[in-house]
Structure 1
């Protein structure tokens, strides 16, 4: 089975699980999904900066319960150099063994999703990278314009927290703390 088929299968299972978890006693109109967006990570280091982006991010937002979930396939990140991508997937994040990164949490603030505006949003939950779960509080901004919900978040991941091993010879190439930026735009979930 190739990576694309595996991704589609995982994505379908992810949505089914999330929809069942979120829709018990909740109206579908309060469910929003993002099938695309952008996740970027940036590592500033002495020798060279490392940057990668992925447009293969999925997210579900339940505006009633405040629950929010993200899933990102690790192999979906694109780098400037193919060798960087190979090292990232095979040596550091071991994407065959740990194929996705996830965040599952709850937005703390009360946000009126019917009112246009820019809102501070803090999500408290579990970030899972490289098979290691860490409780995190992540700050971001939710923008609502003409009924469209967009989210922008920025946070840091300490590689050691998720047992991502960097060979000593490469310590000057890769920062111990990586900046992660995520942008998604939600659409109302429509039951098919």
Structure 2
């Protein structure tokens, strides 16, 4: 976990202008949900990490695949071993840039679009993901809901279980950041 935070912080510090503060979150909440004819599948984690550089708009997220917790242990086992192959692909990540300017000194809710690379199951895909940045008395939070198609990331669903697993997974991401002062 510390290793991933260090990598994310290093990535942003390279792009960071001297003297600019950036924002970090070590407990990003991520949930997934899929509905299928026979069974809904849901899981969540609160161990994702993220960094945001408001000077450049750079934004990065990372999450360990094994950190997702399912209500049924068999679902969790199949998710890790058969579909996401978490031993081979232990993390999912997103690195991108927020397109819209955000005034972090003014309270408000700012709709944004973030364009970058979503890396799931070892397959990188360029995506533009909509979200919301909320500023409330100096606290910065980000929220997003988006879909991930299994086929886009070479996640195979055997025909034997296609009624149990949807072809698209709904993702919800929520992060509340703290300021990291740069020297």
TM-score under structure 1 normalisation? 0.90
**Please, which runs of 5 or more residues in structure 2 have no aligned partner?**
none
In the alignment, which of 138, 142, 164 is matched to residue 151 of structure 1? 142
Aligned-partner SS, 1:23: helix
1:6 matched to which residue of 2? none
Structure (1/2) with the larger helix percentage:
1
2:21 matched to which residue of 1? 30
TM-score under structure 2 normalisation? 0.95
2:90 matched to which residue of 1? 99
In the alignment, which of 116, 123, 134 is matched to residue 125 of structure 1? 116
**Equivalents in 1 of 2:128, 2:46: separation in Å?**
23
**Please, which runs of 5 or more residues in structure 1 have no aligned partner?**
1-10
In the alignment, which of 142, 164, 169 is matched to residue 173 of structure 1? 164
Does residue 99 of structure 2 align to residue 108 of structure 1?
yes
**Equivalents in 2 of 1:144, 1:59: separation in Å?**
17
Residue 190 of structure 1, CA deviation: 4.4
Q: What CA RMSD, in Å, does the superposition of the two structures yield over aligned residues?
A: 1.5
Does residue 23 of structure 2 align to residue 15 of structure 1?
no
In the alignment, which of 53, 57, 62 is matched to residue 44 of structure 2? 53
In the alignment, which of 27, 34, 37 is matched to residue 43 of structure 1? 34
In the alignment, which of 151, 154, 161 is matched to residue 163 of structure 1? 154
Instruction: Encode CA deviations 1:10-40: one digit per residue, 9 max, x unaligned.
Output: x333333333332245245521000002100
